[in-house]
Amino acid sequence: MKIHTCKKCGEDFAVSSGSVARNCPICLSPLRTGPTDLELSICAPMWCEEGVIDEFVERCARAAASCTTNFEILIVDDGSRDETWGKINRLAQQKPFLRGVRHSRNFGLQAAVTTALERARGRAVVIIDGDLEDPPELIPELFQKWRNGAEIVYTVKEGRKVSVPKKILFKLFYYLFSRLSSPPMVPQSGLFCLLDSRIVQLINTLPERVRYIPGLRSWVGFRQEEVRYSRNKRYDTVPRQSLLKLLQLAITSITSFSSAPLQFGLVVGLLSLMLSLIVILGIVYTRVFTDMAIPGWATYSTLLVGLGGFLSLYISIIGCYLGHVYTEVKRRPHSFIAEEI
C-alpha cells in the first residue's frame, strides 16, 4: 500500500501497490502527476463532432510536430450522441499521442475545458475548439511566444465568418464584457490560447463551479501576449451552439466577473427616486399655489409602468447572481468521467 496526499483537500489516502490513482477519493479532484517530459498538450472539447475528428487530429498533429516531438492531443467528448467517442477510440489505437476522455453526459463547454486542463500533462497547454474554426496552424506561433517567455498567449479574432446578426451580437458581448469585467478583458479574445503549466495548475485550484475560462485566464494575470488571426468557418458548416446557449454563456460570463449590473440598479434607483421627488413637488405646487387640477392618470401610469419594468429587470439580474450562489453552495463536481483512454 502507498499513501498519497491530495494537494487540493490535504487528505491522506491509501492506494494498493501496482494500481494508479487518478482521482482523490475524498474531493474527487484529479491527481496531477509529477514532472513530465511532455512539452506540449493540445486540449480540445468536442460535442457531436464525428465528421471533424480525423481532420482535426491530423492538422493538430502536424502543427504540434513542428514545435516538438514530445506532445499529446487530449480530446474531451462532452457526452456526444453520435460516433465521436468511437472515432476517438479507433484513432487512439493508431496514434499513441492521442488521449480521450468521455463525460457521462453533456455538461457544457466550460466543464469540458476544465476536465482537459485537469488532465493535461504538457509544460505548455493549448486550448482550442474542436470544430476547426480556430486554425491549428497557429499553434507554432503561440508555442514560440511561450518559449520566448510568455506565460499566457491568447488569440484575438480580427474577423469571423458568421451571419451578420451573430457578428453584431458577438461584438456587443465582447464590448460589454471588456467594459464591465474586472480586470478588463481584451475584446474578441476567446477560448483559443496557450497556457504555461503553472497557470494551468493555478486555474485548477480555483474552487468555483460557474466558470468562464477566458475570463479566468485574464484574471490570473502574469505575462500575457496576444496573437491576432481571422477565424474560419466550421469544417462541417453545422453550428453546435444555438443563440440561446450563447446568450446563457454571455450572461454567465458577465455576472461571474462583474458586479456592475447590480450597481446599475442602484444608479437607476437613485434616478427614479429623484424623478419621483420632482413629480411629488410638482403635484404639491399645483395643489397649493394654482387652481389647476392635479395631473391625471397618464403621468402616474407612465411612472408605474416604467418603475415596474425596471424592478422586474433588476430582480432578474439579482436572480442570476443568486443562481451562481446556489450552484456554488451545492459544490457538485463540474462533471463525471464515463471513460478515459
pLDDT computed for residue 35 by the predictor:
42
* Dihedral (CA of 201, 203, 207, 213) sign: negative
- Which ranges of the chain does DSSP label H, i.e. alpha helix? 53-65, 84-94, 109-119, 139-147, 164-180, 197-205, 213-219, 243-257, 260-289, 297-330
pLDDT digits (tens, 9 = 90+) for 21-44: 455 655 555 555 444 568 999 999
Strands 152-160 and 71-77: unpaired
| C-beta separation of 3 from 12 below 8 A | yes
What's the confidence (pLDDT) of residue 128? 93
In the chain, where the domains are located: 1-31, 34-258+334-340, 260-330
Protein fold of 34-258+334-340: Spore Coat Polysaccharide Biosynthesis Protein SpsA; Chain A (3.90.550)
Decide if 76 contacts 46 (C-beta within 8 A). Answer: yes
**Cβ–Cβ contacts within 10 Å for residue 249, how many?**
16
If you count DSSP H runs as helices and E runs as strands, how many of each does the chain have, helices first? 10, 10
Query: What's the confidence (pLDDT) of residue 136?
Result: 92
What's the residue count for the chain?
341
HEC states along 174-191?
A: HHHHHHHCCCCCCCCEEE
Q: pLDDT tens digits, the chain, 341 residues: what are they?
A: 455 556 556 566 665 444 444 556 555 555 554 445 689 999 999 988 888 899 999 999 999 999 998 999 999 999 888 889 999 999 999 999 999 999 999 888 888 999 999 999 999 999 998 888 889 999 999 999 999 999 999 988 876 655 666 667 667 766 666 666 666 667 677 789 999 999 999 999 888 877 888 888 888 888 898 888 887 766 555 655 556 666 666 666 666 656 566 666 666 666 766 776 676 676 667 666 776 655 555 566 566 656 666 676 777 777 777 776 767 777 778 888 998 98
